[in-house]
Amino acid sequence: MRRMLDRFFVLDARAVADTRDEAARMNNLSLYGPQSQAWRLNREATLLLGAGTRALLMQIAHPLVAEGVAQHSNFREDPWRRLRATLRSYLTIVYGTTTQARAEIGRLNRFHRDVRGPVRDPAAARSFGPAYRARDPELSLWVHATLIDATLVAHDRWIGNLTHAQRAGFYDETRPIGRAFGVPDTLLPADIEAFEAYLERMIAPDGPVQVGSIARDLAGVILRPPLGPVHPILAGIPAGVYAWTMWPAVDLLPEPIRIGYGLPWGRREQLVSAWLTAGYRAWRPILPVGFRTMPWARSADARLATR
């Protein structure tokens, strides 16, 4: 599994004379650092794979994000590429050096300047107007928020409930990243309570996040992804054989979003999801830490050990 994760997806120490120099060197270690909640919460490989699926489904539940994904990617042919790219960018920002993280933020901002186009879904056009652009601060905030929320939700369900202080600390750490992606303080929720209230407003019955036809089409690819892009030998396996492995990620969705996608969620789906989640929680303490840790986190640990 560790080799599969590596496929799927040194700092030079110098003597310091005062605390300010040491702080500067530690800052170059990472935007977050080894004592951060972000370093602690984003390590788990299986956790992030489930959280990544949830985050994608939440992102495209916003009609304008769905338009951008459908018009500017080959998502239907290779959804794995989008998932890998999302995880790679997110974890580079969390675990990369300050230089690497800032470079990745800059790359994403430059890329998204050209992601714009017409709103083709008539219902979305009536709500949002005839065009969209990915660098709209409100869309940037929504995408940013889904990554934060997915990490918190997946950790609570699959590992254990976080305390209020842990949740608040994690959210506070992410606010500078939101600003770096162009979200002004006037939009960025001030604290964890404001963040949770923002999520509730966004997915409320009269909120802007309403699952549309484009999102439902894309969700079919996310939840029944073709295996050919992973390895050609897997291309002939019918999606129905492995679709059930995605049910724990579906279980992480808020009920209004799951209903909006029209996903069946009966007794069978609930039992299988609970069984897989319980199995993960039982096996997790037994598995070697290195085996279940994301490659980016392992790399950051090694970098820290060279201090």
3 pLDDT band (50/70/90 cuts)?
low
Calculate the average pLDDT of the chain: 87
In this prediction, residues 9-29 reach a mean pLDDT of 40
- Asked whether residue 250 is assigned to any structural domain, the reply reads yes
Q: Which helix (H) or strand (E) holds 133?
A: strand 131-133
Distance CA 168, CA 247 (A): 29
In this prediction, residues 161-173 reach a mean pLDDT of 97
In this prediction, residues 234-240 reach a mean pLDDT of 81
- Asked whether residue 229 is assigned to any structural domain, the reply reads yes
Distance CA 307, CA 304 (A): 6
Q: How many domains does the chain have?
A: 1
215 pLDDT band (50/70/90 cuts)?
very high
Task: Domain of residue 176: give its range.
Answer: 35-300
pLDDT at 234: 79
The alpha-helical segments, DSSP class H, found in the chain are 2-8, 19-29, 37-41, 45-60, 63-71, 79-95, 98-113, 122-128, 137-158, 164-180, 192-203, 213-223, 247-251, 255-261, 267-283, 289-292, 295-305
pLDDT at 195: 98
